[in-house]
């Protein structure tokens, strides 16, 4: 039975889907005005591991990830400049920027062996659905209009703070200094559902007609509208990075539950921060690391995946170049060990049982990795059994263990010839020649080890 920490109850709970064997799963996706940094990618890996764990347990997962390509503002309070439009002069520019960074993001997912969601809807292509939901909120008395915007009336939703579990007074709320205050806004905590293209937003590039005035949607309404469209009013799991819990996920919940009159997501799964040298990562800190940065430094992107697996998703991960190098080393050792494994046959039941328990215990990937290494090191099983079980583990790890093993099996003819020559030299007890041939084999990228059952060939990584 899969158990997960639910941010909503702040407890570990047994996962029970709404429909048997099926899971509706929503994850807040990227804002495509810039490349994703490795902190964002850690969240994507957390969601991927969760999805793989659900599939491993036999669930069919319908995963939806939004692409924010409109109206994402720089501050937490729907204020400040629009990041999407900052470097754009016209609509074609905005769309070109969004396309470029969406493509880059998809490449990052591919490099990290993240399974693509079933749907990746774009906010800009779902404006009518967002308008529809705002209309419902106004009709039900949860929203009001001023000259500048349509706001959600937080006072009408008494459970507003249920996800963060703090009193509103203790939360850092209210307009920031740079905000031009709207005199008709009832409460500083009220957030924008629709921006009218007036005043400071008069020249906003992307705008749509609406019942209120031409304008563009607020920061949060897209996730409520698109999750409803693709997963229904009430669905199983909503995942996000911890920094989105407030205000974004809190506001999504308020909008959806008020508009639909039903509970929103049953399980909220939040992934912790990634720190760089114990500090925050950001453009202003000058340590904004992307997948491109890792590739330029000659790391295998899957080394980052391995590094993420070494830390539980609810713990902060402190990224350093040394820790990434150690992860790359461990991954290479793993590939090297597996390269000598025989064709998979009957697996190791006890290891598989322990592995499943670790995964189902709120995705304990550090423990699952320890089990992987125990399996590699044990003398109890033949490599055919280890291969069978490891390939199964990799359905969750996603480290391309089987693919690497298959590649390693393709031994070049030249190396095969050297091995045959060395076997003949050994039979003839010409150890000088056999040692020399072993060195040649190593130069060609393979290690040859002699065992009681004959030689063992490992590929060098
Ligand atoms: Zn969202």
Asked if residue 37 lies in contact with residue 290, where contact means CB atoms within 8 angstroms, the answer is yes
Q: How far is the CA of 368 from the centre of ligand 1 (A)?
A: 30
Lowest-confidence region among 37-51, 75-89, 345-359, 437-451: 75-89
Give me the pLDDT at residue 294, please. 96
Q: How far is the CA of 33 from the centre of ligand 1 (A)?
A: 16
379-424 tens-digit pLDDT: 999 999 999 999 999 999 999 999 999 988 888 999 999 999 999 9
Q: Does pLDDT of 244 surpass 80?
A: yes
Give me the pLDDT at residue 177, please. 42
Q: How far is the CA of 66 from the centre of ligand 1 (A)?
A: 7
Give me the pLDDT at residue 443, please. 94
Give me the pLDDT at residue 81, please. 58
Q: How far is the CA of 29 from the centre of ligand 1 (A)?
A: 7
* DSSP E strand stretches across 137-249: 143-145, 149-152, 191-196, 215-217, 235-241
CATH 1.10.150.530 fits 321-409, yes or no: no
Q: Distances in Å between the alpha carbon of 96 and those of 33, 177, 203, 283, 365? A: 10, 32, 19, 22, 38
Q: What share of the chain is helix, strand, coil (3-state, %, to 5)?
A: 45, 15, 40
Phi–psi pair at 267, nearest 5 degrees: -130, 130
In this structure, what token pair is assigned to residue 280? 């925050």
In this structure, what token pair is assigned to residue 23? 């899971």
Cβ neighbour number for residue 306 with a 10 Å cutoff: 24
CATH top-level class for 3-271? Answer: alpha beta
Q: Distances in Å between the alpha carbon of 250 and those of 7, 124, 189, 210, 349? A: 11, 22, 12, 25, 43
129-151 tens-digit pLDDT: 999 999 999 999 999 999 999 99
Q: How far is the CA of 27 from the centre of ligand 1 (A)?
A: 7
Give me the pLDDT at residue 75, please. 41
Q: What region, left, alpha or beta, does residue 165 occupy, with left being phi > 0 and alpha being psi -120 to 50 degrees?
A: left
Q: Domains of the chain: which residue ranges?
A: 3-271, 321-409, 413-459
How far is the C-alpha of 450 from the C-alpha of 75, rounded, in Å? 63
CA 329 to chain CA mean position, Å = 23
pTM higher than the cut 0.85: yes
Q: How far is the CA of 142 from the centre of ligand 1 (A)?
A: 20
Whose structure tokens read 């570990």? Answer: 12
Give me the pLDDT at residue 248, please. 93
Give 265's strand partners: 235
Asked if residue 141 lies in contact with residue 156, where contact means CB atoms within 8 angstroms, the answer is yes
Q: How far is the CA of 244 from the centre of ligand 1 (A)?
A: 8
In this structure, what token pair is assigned to residue 328? 């790359």
How far is the C-alpha of 208 from the C-alpha of 215, rounded, in Å? 5
Q: How far is the CA of 64 from the centre of ligand 1 (A)?
A: 11
Q: How far is the CA of 420 from the centre of ligand 1 (A)?
A: 60
Q: How far is the CA of 3 from the centre of ligand 1 (A)?
A: 23
């Amino acid at each position: 039975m899969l158990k997960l920490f639910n941010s909503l109850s702040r407890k570990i709970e047994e996962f029970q889907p709404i429909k048997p064997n099926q899971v509706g799963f929503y994850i807040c996706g990227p804002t495509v005005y810039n490349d994703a940094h490795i902190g964002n990618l850690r969240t994507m890996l957390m969601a991927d591991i969760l999805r793989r764990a659900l599939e491993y347990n036999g669930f069919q997962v319908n995963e939806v990830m939004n692409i924010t390509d409109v109206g994402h503002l720089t501050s937490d309070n729907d204020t400040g400049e629009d990041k999407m439009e900052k470097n754009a002069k016209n609509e074609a520019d905005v769309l070109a920027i969004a396309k470029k960074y969406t493509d880059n993001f998809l490449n990052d997912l591919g490099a990290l062996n993240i399974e693509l969601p079933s749907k990746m809807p774009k906010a800009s292509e779902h404006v009518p659905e967002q308008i529809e939901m705002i209309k419902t909120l106004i009709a039900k008395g949860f929203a009001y209009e001023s000259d500048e915007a349509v706001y959600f009336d937080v006072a009408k939703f008494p459970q507003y703070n249920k996800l963060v579990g703090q009193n509103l007074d203790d939360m850092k709320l209210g307009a920031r200094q740079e905000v031009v205050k709207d005199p008709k806004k009832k409460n500083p905590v009220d957030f924008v559902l629709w921006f009218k293209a007036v005043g400071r937003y008069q020249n906003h590039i992307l705008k749509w007609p609406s019942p209120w005035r031409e304008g563009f949607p607020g920061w949060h309404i897209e996730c409520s509208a698109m999750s409803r469209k693709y997963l229904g009013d009430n669905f199983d799991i909503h995942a996000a990075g911890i920094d989105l819990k407030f205000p974004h996920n809190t506001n999504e919940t308020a909008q959806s539950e008020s508009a639909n009159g039903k509970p929103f997501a049953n399980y909220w799964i939040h992934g912790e921060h990634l720190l760089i040298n114990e500090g925050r990562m950001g453009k202003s800190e000058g340590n904004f690391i992307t997948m491109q940065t890792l590739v330029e430094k000659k790391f295998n992107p899957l080394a980052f995946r391995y590094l993420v697996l070494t830390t539980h998703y609810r713990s902060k991960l402190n990224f350093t170049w040394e820790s990434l190098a150690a992860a790359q080393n461990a991954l290479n050792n793993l590939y090297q060990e597996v390269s000598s494994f025989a064709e998979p046959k009957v697996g190791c039941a006890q290891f598989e049982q322990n592995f499943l328990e670790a995964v189902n215990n709120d995705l304990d990937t550090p423990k699952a990795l320890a089990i992987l290494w125990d399996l590699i090191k044990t003398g109890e099983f033949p490599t055919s059994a280890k291969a069978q079980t490891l390939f199964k583990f990799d359905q969750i790890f996603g480290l391309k263990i089987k693919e690497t093993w298959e590649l390693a099996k393709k031994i070049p003819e030249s190396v095969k010839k050297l091995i045959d020559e060395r076997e003949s030299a050994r039979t003839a007890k010409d150890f000088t020649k056999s040692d020399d041939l072993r060195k040649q084999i190593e130069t060609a990228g393979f290690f040859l080890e002699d065992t009681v059952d004959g030689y063992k060939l490992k590929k060098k990584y």
